[in-house]
Structure 1
Amino acid sequence: MAFLPGLGYAIAMLSVLIETRNNDEALARTLSSLVSAAVSGMVREVIVCDRAVSRETHAIADQTGCVYLTDGGIGAGVRQAKADWLLLLEPGARLVDGWSEAVEHYVATMAMPARFTPSRADRRPWFVGMFRSSRALREGLLIRKAQALPLSRHAADAEAVARGLAGRRLAAEIRVADAG
């Protein structure tokens, strides 16, 4: 948390981690939903992990001021993150307006991991979930760095870090990334 002189309150600072899987267009969509929180100082850094080493992904990361990692995967990203709270997102996921206020409140009052609520357009009928496996990062993951470090040490990818984690539901919506 950073105290802002004259404003009298602290702003939670996040490191956002996105494992791109060589999906440049989806990365750009996700980054666009983070702009307002970056301008306000809430998003301290965005770390793009790209084992595919795509020139296009590197260019997008460079032009938008992201940290670009090609070695070490999500574990390296978690270790390098500067903030106490991490936000793991799939490329293509877009956070809906008002998300930063919900996250701000959550990190000030809670300690356990949390996930966003899928937007109404992305909610599945209950019976679909019975027959289709869900991606662990479908709804993003907000987690303390101290909790993510041991999970990421031997994780093959960000999905493995998020898989099986219980967490609370944030009072903020996410447009989930396209399946694929």
Structure 2
Amino acid sequence: MITLLVRVTHGPEALAATLSAFVPAVAAGLVGDAVILAGRQDDALAQVADAAGATLLPLGRDCWKEGARVARRDWLLCLDDGDVPQEGWIRVLERFVTSAGPEQGFARMRRRQSAMRALTGLLWGSRRVRSGDLVHRRVLLNEVRSRAPMRLSAAVERDPVFG
């Protein structure tokens, strides 16, 4: 099972769009809980988090690590609010988490990006956790050093409303 870590930068509407995309994964038993990482906490964000049964945390300097500390599952899917997985992603992530251990605890969902951003990602920071990454908790907490991220055939895209 997976914990969603959702970093909020656009607000409650973008958060709701992301969380609603994961309802089928909750029903399938893949997603067990969610941690919302928000820079500003207001009533609207608190209501969305409460309705989803998610934990709401302040957005800190190393938000993914902070989310990993309170997550209930070993596998963490890191997302930004407004991110929506594309068709077929449940099967791909389920297969990965059932076969990979902490030492291979880093996988990256495909994301459409500019050529310059893709080149920058290849040259620098390929092991840096970013939105769309599936990471084992022990990797985020620096208990295990993972290999380079494995590319998954699943994709995540931004909802066009939230850019």
TM-score (norm 2): 0.77
What secondary structure, in the 3-state scheme, does the structure 1 residue paired with 2:14 have?
Answer: helix
Q: Corresponding residue for 2:110?
A: 117
Query: Does residue 175 of the first structure (1) align with residue 157 of the second (2)?
Result: yes
Is the 2:38–2:58 contact (alpha carbons within 8 Å) kept by the matching residues of 1?
yes
Shift of 1:177: 5.8
Is the 1:48–1:61 contact (alpha carbons within 8 Å) kept by the matching residues of 2?
yes
Q: Corresponding residue for 2:91?
A: 101
Shift of 1:99: 0.7
What secondary structure, in the 3-state scheme, does the structure 1 residue paired with 2:155 have?
Answer: strand
Sequence identity (%): 28
Q: Corresponding residue for 2:53?
A: 65
**CA RMSD of the aligned region, Å?**
2.9
* Paired residues for 1:1-180 under 5 Å: 13-21=1-9, 23-70=11-58, 73-111=63-101, 112=104, 113-118=106-111, 122-124=112-114, 126=115, 129=118, 137-138=130-131, 140-150=132-142, 166-176=148-158
Q: How many residues align?
A: 150
Q: Separation in 2 of the partners of 1:45 and 1:172?
A: 20
Is the 1:22–1:57 contact (alpha carbons within 8 Å) kept by the matching residues of 2?
no
Q: Separation in 2 of the partners of 1:144 and 1:45?
A: 15
Shift of 1:22: 5.2
Shift of 1:108: 2.0
Is the 1:94–1:174 contact (alpha carbons within 8 Å) kept by the matching residues of 2?
yes
TM-score (norm 1): 0.71
Q: Separation in 2 of the partners of 1:131 and 1:146?
A: 26
Further displaced range: 86-95 or 53-62 = 53-62
Q: Separation in 1 of the partners of 2:54 and 2:81?
A: 14
Shift of 1:80: 0.9
**Residue identity opposite 2:14 in structure 1:** A
The structure with more radius of gyration: 1
- For residues 9-67 of structure 1, the C-alpha deviation after alignment (integer angstroms, 9 at most, x for no partner) is xxxx0011011135222111111111100112210101101131122111111112211
Shift of 1:110: 2.5
Q: Tell me, which stretches of 5 or more residues in structure 2 are unaligned? A: none
Q: Tell me, which stretches of 5 or more residues in structure 1 are unaligned? A: 1-12, 152-164
Runs of 4+ off more than 4 Å: 127-136, 177-180
**Residue identity opposite 1:144 in structure 2:** H
